């Protein structure tokens, strides 16, 4: 989902819905993003306080490669 909206803020709720995460477990998005940041680099995803996250344009190519190797729903991209 983040790769579809590069540079735009995506909310936790939107990410959770896309990943099939229930409202009670929306914080799971946080832990998924920690893993994505470890893989792509800490500056690949920008946190926008009280709004959500944004994939930085410079990280799109690496994120696309990651998606080709993994289940995008499970990793939140």
pLDDT confidence of 68, banded at 50, 70, 90? confident
Q: Phi and psi dihedrals of 8, rounded to 5?
A: -110, 150
Please, what sign has the CA dihedral across residues 39, 74, 54, 66?
A: positive
Tens-place pLDDT, residues 13-61 = 888 888 787 766 767 778 888 888 998 999 999 999 999 999 999 999 9
DSSP 35: H
């Amino acid at each position: 989902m983040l790769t579809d909206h590069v540079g735009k803020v995506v909310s936790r709720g939107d990410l959770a819905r896309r990943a099939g995460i229930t409202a009670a477990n929306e914080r799971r998005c946080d832990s998924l993003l920690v893993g994505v940041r470890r893989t792509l680099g800490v500056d690949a995803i920008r946190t926008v306080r009280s709004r959500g996250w944004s994939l930085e344009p410079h990280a799109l190519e690496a994120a696309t490669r990651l998606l080709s190797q993994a289940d995008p729903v499970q990793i939140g991209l």
